[in-house]
Structure 1
Amino acid sequence: MSVKIKFEIEFPIHASPHMLYQYFGTPSGLSEWFADNVNSRGEVFTFIWDGAEERAKVLQERPDEKIKFKWEEDEDPKSFFEFRLEIDDITKDVSLIVTDFAEEDEVDEAKMFWENQIDELKHTIGA
């Protein structure tokens, strides 16, 4: 099994943390920009793309701040993906930080995936 590389990307977004959180901390919000459909049963979220399902378990959640998921199919015990909000103390600017893991030769591709997804999110919320 190959070791995955952790990476973080920061996206400044002009929106309130509470409003933003609804888009990545809830199934209905995630289904507006991240997947075709998202359902949840307890801590397990089911993401549906083109009829294919992938399930992820919520490892940690702090409402209006962050949510961390682990894909059930992922065999790497250390990998996860996380959406985290940070607010600049002085300017009050809000940033969404995405943390994810990818194979070494797929990091650029994974970053591009997230950039496209977050563009979709910004478009959805009008930010």
Structure 2
Amino acid sequence: MSKHLFTADFEINASKKMLYPYLSSASGLAQWMADDVTINEDKVYNFIWDEEDHFATMVSHRTNHYVRYEFLPEDEEDEDDPSYFELRLELNELTQSVFIKVIDYSDMDDNEELYDLWEGLIDNLKETVGG
């Protein structure tokens, strides 16, 4: 099954500096993204959704700009083409508005469903940070 690339932008009323810890730390992610998020000594994140473990590593990041998590392969196909998601913090210079750009590369190929999923997650984040 081929993977699908989904992108969307969500405006949020909070500074990049304030938002970044919510995107880059297990405790921050656990507050809005998953039922729980833990990190082990090998820096492997465990995203827990509906009592299921999903393991990922932070493969790249730039403080106050973006973070990218790549899920550990579950089969041979995933090894060559791993699923990932990236969260970018972007500033509109004209309006000074901060946007979170979501880049989701996964087996889910329904854009409407993905948009609803991420919109719900970003709404959770907005409630958490008051943005």
**Which TM-score applies when normalising by structure 1?**
0.88
- 2: CA distance between counterparts of 1:32 and 1:52? 17
Contact 1:102 1:110 in 2 (8 A): no
Contact 1:6 1:79 in 2 (8 A): no
Distance 1:25 1:64, change over 3 A: same
1:106 aligned to 2:105? no
User: 1:73-120: CA deviations, max 9, x gaps?
Assistant: 461615420000001223221100000024464332222111111111
Distance 1:105 1:89, change over 3 A: closer
Which segments of structure 1 move beyond 4 Å, counting only runs of 4 or more? Answer: none
1:117 aligned to 2:116? no
Q: 1:96 aligns with which of 92, 95, 100?
A: 100
- Percentage of pairs with the same residue: 36
Question: When the two structures are aligned, how many residues end up with a matched partner?
Answer: 126
State the shift of 1:26 in Å: 0.7
State the shift of 1:54 in Å: 0.9
**Which TM-score applies when normalising by structure 2?**
0.86
Contact 1:79 1:101 in 2 (8 A): yes
